[in-house]
Structure 1
Amino acid sequence: MSAVSLCYEFCARTHAGKVRTNNEDAVSVDALAQLALLADGMGGYNAGEVASGMAISFIHSEMARWLAQAGTRLKSFDLRRAMEICVDNANQAILGASEANPQYAGMGTTLVLGVFQGPRLMLGHIGDSRCYRLRSGELEQLTRDHSWLQEQIDAGLLTRQQAAVSTSRNLVTRALGVEEVALLEINEFEVQPGDLYLLCSDGLSEMVHHADLTELLAARSALDEKAARLIDAANANGGRDNISVVLARASAGPRKQGLMSRLLRA
């Protein structure tokens, strides 16, 4: 029996925005490992930049090495566990650096980590950086913010309209590198041909409305052009924060031949 495989295309871009002089976001993609990462750092001076850079570099290196050794036949449990271990190791490294260097005290970072394996996405996140999926023209947020505002919304204490104008938008309830244990939320999703996934920092999601994100992502254009237009839109609306975009698009690959088909062709 033949089956449709999936091919993935990736693109990553980051921009300081129009207000901040330095960029505390970090992004990375690995087409071979089918890995996508994004982090939004926090802390005084350049500490946020250090935290996000450490997180992306450490997790990318460890996950890519583990995926190369593990091969393609991975059980969900094993992949989840590998993600948790890599993130925990990065958490300890960032926490250790902040404790050893007074200028880095209190630094931390959000994280979105996506591992694409055939027809599935294993998605992990900490903080308020997000992942969206565009499917058949509909844009859906796959992650749930780990933030004070989201907790207030969930408790019925704030409406989404009130939250949108709150001055407490940047208060995250989870971050990497600030406590001994970093709680990585992991969810698994089925991937379909034509799906487009967007990982982004809040410098994009807070500056561009959902409807505009949908329109920009749905436009017929190459991934690098989509990423550039998303960043341009955030800057056009004020660019108050660093803006980071990671895109991953799934398409149908060549059909895999079954055993009988291969024997008949031999």
Structure 2
Amino acid sequence: MKLICAGITDVGCSREHNEDDFYLSDGEEALCIVADGMGGHRSGEVASAMAIKAIVEYYRETMPQVVNGYQGESVGEGDEERDLDELRIHEALQMANRAVFQAAESDEAYEGMGTTIVSAYFTEGGVYLAHIGDSRGYLYREGSLEQVTHDHSLANEYVRMGILAKEDVEFFPYKNVITRACGLTDEVEIDVNFHTMQPGDMFVFCSDGLSDMVPDRELVQLLDDTEDLEVLCQRLVDRANENGGSDNITIILARVVEDEN
């Protein structure tokens, strides 16, 4: 199997500048990252760019076979056992968290800055997803769309606790309040999960500028619309802006196809 990817970022209709950022690997590492910065003019865009830079540098400076002195297929024992690729993506996001936090601590101009992150590392066996905040990952398979990340948001916590109905989230006045972000503390809890993949699968990674503006039913219709990923990225941005464009919009599409070689 091989991967075909495209990405785009757009300021939206309401913001004066873009605090989002994204990364698509142009090397051997099949790495996709979306970051949605926060903290106001300059500091939000600094946080998202800095976090991505830290993740990419970590991947470039480490080898898949050797991480933190461990070699082999897994490390740890029992419930603590971790696949090396899982350990690697987890440590990459911790490095990003520390980089943003230390920059905010050392420069008053960046005080309080942070970013959400959703990062994907593709291997032969599947994809490892790691995220902090409410930037999302979706899996689109055979006409069905599934969110494969869990929003770290107040609204999602209220839904989990039964305080808020899922269908009422879009009307919840604090739906954009997040409960975790990269760079706000010296350590952060990171969710990591693994998904197998098959030819025809498409993964969607996005900031909330897309997910807040384009409901899942519209997203499915658009994902069925064309095979050209760059065209599809632009259509998704256009739809988000048509629906209000209240935030910056960033999208990565990654399609799994048969390797003909």
**Quick check: 2:139–2:202 contact (8 Å CA) kept in 1?**
yes
Equivalent residue, structure 2, for 1:49: 45
How many angstroms apart in 1 are the aligned matches of 2:149 and 2:258? 25
Equivalent residue, structure 1, for 2:4: 9
How many angstroms apart in 2 are the aligned matches of 1:253 and 1:15? 32
**Quick check: 1:33–1:68 contact (8 Å CA) kept in 2?**
no
Map 1:128-167 onto structure 2 (within 5 A): 128-167=134-173
How many angstroms apart in 2 are the aligned matches of 1:137 and 1:199? 17
**Quick check: 1:119–1:192 contact (8 Å CA) kept in 2?**
no
Equivalent residue, structure 1, for 2:15: 20
- Structure 1 segments (4+ residues) deviating >4 Å: 67-70, 73-76
The amino acid of 2:22's aligned partner reads V
SS class of match (1:21)? coil
Decide whether aligned partners of structure 1 residues 67 and 238 sit closer, same or farther in structure 2, where only a CA change above 3 A counts: farther
Stretch of structure 1 that moved more, 61-70 or 146-155: 61-70
Q: CA deviation at 1:69?
A: 6.9
- TM (normalized to structure 2)? 0.91
How many angstroms apart in 2 are the aligned matches of 1:144 and 1:188? 13
Confirm or deny that 1:182 pairs with 2:195: no
**Quick check: 1:132–1:140 contact (8 Å CA) kept in 2?**
yes
% same residue = 37
Confirm or deny that 1:238 pairs with 2:244: yes
Give the aligned CA root-mean-square deviation in angstroms.
Answer: 1.7
SS class of match (1:55)? helix
The amino acid of 2:250's aligned partner reads S
For this pair of structures, how many residues does the alignment match? 249
SS class of match (1:110)? strand
Structure 2: tracts of 5 or more residues without a match = 67-71, 75-81
Structure 1: tracts of 5 or more residues without a match = 1-5, 256-266
How many angstroms apart in 1 are the aligned matches of 2:142 and 2:168? 30
Equivalent residue, structure 2, for 1:37: 33
Confirm or deny that 1:62 pairs with 2:54: no
Q: CA deviation at 1:66?
A: 2.7
Map 1:87-126 onto structure 2 (within 5 A): 87-126=93-132
After superposition, the C-alpha distances for 1:72-108 in whole angstroms (9 at most, x for unaligned) are x965611111112221122111111111111211100
The amino acid of 1:96's aligned partner reads Q
How many angstroms apart in 1 are the aligned matches of 2:130 and 2:95? 15
Decide whether aligned partners of structure 1 residues 222 and 137 sit closer, same or farther in structure 2, where only a CA change above 3 A counts: same
The amino acid of 1:49's aligned partner reads E
Q: CA deviation at 1:254?
A: 3.2
How many angstroms apart in 1 are the aligned matches of 2:18 and 2:36? 9
